[in-house]
Amino acid sequence: MCCTIFFGWQVYGGVCEIAAELKKTYLMTERHSHFSRTDFYVGGLPTYIHGLAEVSQSRLPISVLFLLHGRQGSSNDLTPFVQALLESAAAVQDPKMDLLVVTFDHRNHGHRKVQDLANGSWSSGNQLHAQDMLSIQYGTATDVSLLVDFLPSYLFPNDQRKIELWGCAGVSLGGHSTWMVLRHEPRISIGIPIIGCPDYIALMSHRARKASLGFCSPHLPKSLIKTIKRLNAASNEGLESMSDKKILVLSGKDDQIVPWPCSETFVSKLPDVHKKIVLYEGVGHELTHLMINETCKWIDCFLVQGEHLTERL
């Protein structure tokens, strides 16, 4: 089931900007209904569960998709995307699972923001750009693992439902974090990194060159490079941990902020049977309606219909 989207997002330097008139058009379109949001505070982390009330009377197994926002944005930016995913899932005939979408704010974003400068790049004056962005990405991955541990008991304290599958998708910074989740959290079996990069060394090398900086201290200290190598999704350990995961990679071919060549080497090594790559001609660092449509189809197949990967491809 492919959803039709009536809005577009653009992400420049990780900032989500939704055109006001397009968003207004989306909100006023009758075919798009609004789904419920239930809030929990898991370990003090405000966590937003979308679609829970709508499946309260169902007895189907549950699937959960974490949806991660972009740099300098917040989980509120994802509301139209969430609505599109749940609208598409609700239209699936004979579903095998009920889909819930989970959102939360990255560290130093939204309600968790403590310093604007730390979300900036080298070119905007943040000399700790490499440290700040990696720590946020890995922090988000640990937040996802925390929620996988505890959400079932928050959602279903009487053990009345079971969560069968977990997935993660994200845009820009959320796409980088999705790769990190796929690398470090074995219970996440489905991933959709959108305009994100798995290879932190390649991405930082690209940005250092653009900023006329050396790939060395103080911008990239040896201690940080050691940490990057241990955590980086683009590694032999990453290949092993993702070998049987279902991964949809969506990128703009003309992206200058997260260039596809920074991702290509690692992504090409993932098993072909377990991945799908879509590069969009003439698209830069932006989330397009075609990317959202493709995400809806992937989620419908694997987190709603429960299809096997070979059937999908």
Parse the chain into domains and list their residue ranges.
9-304
The pLDDT tens digits for 234-276 are 999 999 999 999 999 999 999 999 999 999 999 999 999 889 9
> Given this model, what pLDDT does residue 34 score?
86
Return the amino acid letter for 180.
Answer: M
> Is residue 78 predicted with pLDDT exceeding 80?
yes
**Among the ranges given (42-56, 155-169, 211-225), the one the predictor scored with the smallest mean pLDDT:** 211-225
Q: What is the pTM assigned to this prediction?
A: 0.89
Q: What is the pLDDT of residues 106-158, one digit of tens each?
A: 999 999 999 999 999 998 999 999 999 999 999 999 999 999 999 999 999 99
In sequence order, what are the residues at sequence separation of 6 or more whose Cβ sits closer than 8 angstroms to the Cβ of residue 238?
Answer: 182, 183, 198, 232, 266
Q: What is the pLDDT of residue 273?
A: 85
> In the CATH hierarchy, which top-level class contains the domain 9-304?
alpha beta
269-309 tens-digit pLDDT: 999 988 999 999 999 999 999 999 999 999 999 999 987 54
The answer to whether residues 143 and 44 touch, using CB atoms and an 8 Å cutoff, is: no
| pLDDT recorded at residue 18 | 30
> Does residue 31 have a pLDDT over 60?
no
Tell me the average pLDDT across 166-184.
Answer: 98
